[in-house]
Structure 1
Amino acid sequence: MARFRFAVCEWSFPCWGSLAVKMAGEAGFDGVQLGDAGGSMHNFPLRDKRVQEHYMEAGARYGVAFPQIHLYTLGHQGYYRSRLDSLEGKLCLESIRQGIIAASEMGVPSVIIDGMRMNDEAKKRHVFQVAQYAVRTGEEYGVQIGMETDMSLEDHIRFLDALDGKLKLCFDAHNPVMYGTGYPPDMIRTLGRERFDHFHIKESQANEDGYLSVETPIVLMGQGCTYFRESAQAVKEIGFEGWIVSENFYFRPNILEQGLDCVSAARRDVESLHAVYGTE
């Protein structure tokens, strides 16, 4: 088996569901990191057997695996940072439980939760309690829990070690650059292989002042300033094996203006991923 497998986020394409799976397969990706199909806003569609069958049939048809479910809607709702006894906190826990059960039913090994914007002690406490719940529930159903975060290196280590290594990272190598929390290659080396579930990879160009933000353009891999090649080297140096997941956005105007469509743009990123990570 190859040391690395390359996936893409479902929300990297303009439409979710079988069309996103088809586009991923046509671009040459090995897998798709699923979103939650609307999560609590649509009564947890991934628990619906027909929805599950729809995805599994599409995966088989286009030769695409599903290595993770990312609780995308829940992350955008921001309920992770709410007290657990609040309406939002209770809905957060229920969303996690439903996502984990869906993953167990679909044979998806990992569910990804959010640890972003913990900018005060109360939010850190709430997110830690959520992570404890997710880990316990994941153990019950045989599903690994990963977390994406914008924390500093020191907070990464404290947070993960407090959970006895049971929580793994969905490490987005773009986040430390955008949030100013560290140099991604050094963070990867220090955190070490065992703390990672998988990696998110995307690229941005800095603005005229040299800064990244949510407004600066996402670009194809190798065209930005987020240490794409240096981070890949660090991933290889620590001996990581597993999934490298593109979280690029192939429908963005600045990408399509290059004369590409979504699939041809995604195919260029697949080629770049193979070039920097290798295919051994």
Structure 2
Amino acid sequence: MSGFKFGACEWSFPCWGALALKMAREAGFTGMQLGDAGGSLHAYPLTDRRVQEHYLEAASKYGIELLSIHLYTLGHQGYVRHSPDSPEGRICRESIEKGIIAAHQMGIPTVIVDGMRMNTAAKRRHVFEMERCAAEIADAYGVNIAMETDMTLEEHVAFLDGLGGRVTLCFDTHNPMMYGTGKPADLIRALGKERIDHFHMKESRPNEDGYITVETPIVLLGQGITEFRESVEAIQEIGYSGWIISENFYYRPNLTCGGEDPVDLARRDVETLQAAFGTE
């Protein structure tokens, strides 16, 4: 029996909340990685009992497992790269703590804290401190911390091992190709399943100059040049089992320009994942 399960990010759909869970289930996904519902910008909605009940009731109704909370707003704010003593750093710590508390209260096992764009020594120190702090808080609540990042293999190993194995990866197979940090399949094999909590998967086609950038449109799985199938092979080779999460954007104009419905597009990705991982 296959150990692979397929989920989607909440922000893969046109709106968040119960409708996103419904659309994910209609497409064939069985899990969802939640965003943070606005995080610090909206007084941490996921810590509100009514909001928690909204998600839990919808998850039960539609048969969707709430597998993790990605601190989506915090990632876009970039406060994880600020000094812990700065106003931004204090918001970062509060965001992490509130996210962990919400996960604990909702029975969600994992919280993701971005560690992207550490392009100076100071930013790297700040992110390391934030991830260390997150791990300490999470230990008290029985929650796991996963980190999405854009590092090279050597940087991955040094950073994660420096945290004593208390933080694992939300490994995005698209990131190494976009940031030029290596071949995703090579990184997956070298890092091994022990350092990986779960995977994000998405694909891009190149721009007119042959490059993948943050502006390059995301396409359906298997239709880009970010080595989707090679990544699948590496994931299987290391003996990983668990969640494979689509981080596609099924509502964006480059995908819906022909009148396609987001659920139909998402269903095609589910079918691609099932065929690639042999779970049909």
User: In the aligned structure 2, how far is the partner of 1:209 from the partner of 1:75?
Assistant: 28
* Cα deviation, residue 55, structure 1: 0.3
What amino acid maps onto 2:143 in structure 1? V
CA separation in 2, counterparts of 1:198 and 1:150? 15
Give the match for residue 66 of structure 2. 66
- 2-structure distance, mates of 1:205, 1:279: 26
- Pairwise mapping of residues 140-219 of structure 1 onto structure 2 (< 5 A)? 140-219=140-219
The residue number in structure 2 matching 1:75 is 75
Distance 1:204 1:76 in 2: 21
In structure 1, distance between residues paired with 2:260 and 2:190:
38
Percent identical residues: 64
Deviation of 1:259 (Å): 3.6
TM-score normalised over the length of structure 2: 0.99
3-state DSSP of counterpart to 1:171: strand
How far residue 227 of structure 1 moved from its aligned partner, in angstroms, is 0.3
* SS at 2:254 equivalent: helix
Q: What CA deviation, in whole Å up to 9, does each residue of 1:7-51 have, x standing for no partner?
A: 000001110001101100100001010000000100000000000
Q: CA deviation at 1:167?
A: 0.4
Aligned to 1:102: 102
Gaps of 5+ in 1: none
Match of 1:87 in 2: 87
Aligned to 1:264: 264
CA distance in 1, matches of 2:254, 2:65: 29
SS at match of 1:52: helix
Does residue 249 of structure 2 align to residue 245 of structure 1?
no
Q: How many residues align?
A: 280
Q: What is the TM-score normalised by the length of structure 1?
A: 0.99
Q: What is the SS of the residue equivalent to 1:255?
A: helix
1:232 and 2:232 aligned: yes
Instruction: Name the CA distance, whole Å, in 2 between partners of 1:259 and 1:236.
Output: 35
Which ranges of structure 2 fall in alignment gaps of 5 or more residues? Answer: none
The two structures, once aligned, show a CA RMSD in angstroms of 0.9
> 1:38 aligns to what?
38
Q: CA deviation at 1:260?
A: 1.5
Runs (4+) off by over 6 Å: none
User: AA paired with 2:115?
Assistant: G
SS of residue matched to 1:138 = helix
Distance 2:10 2:193 in 1: 25
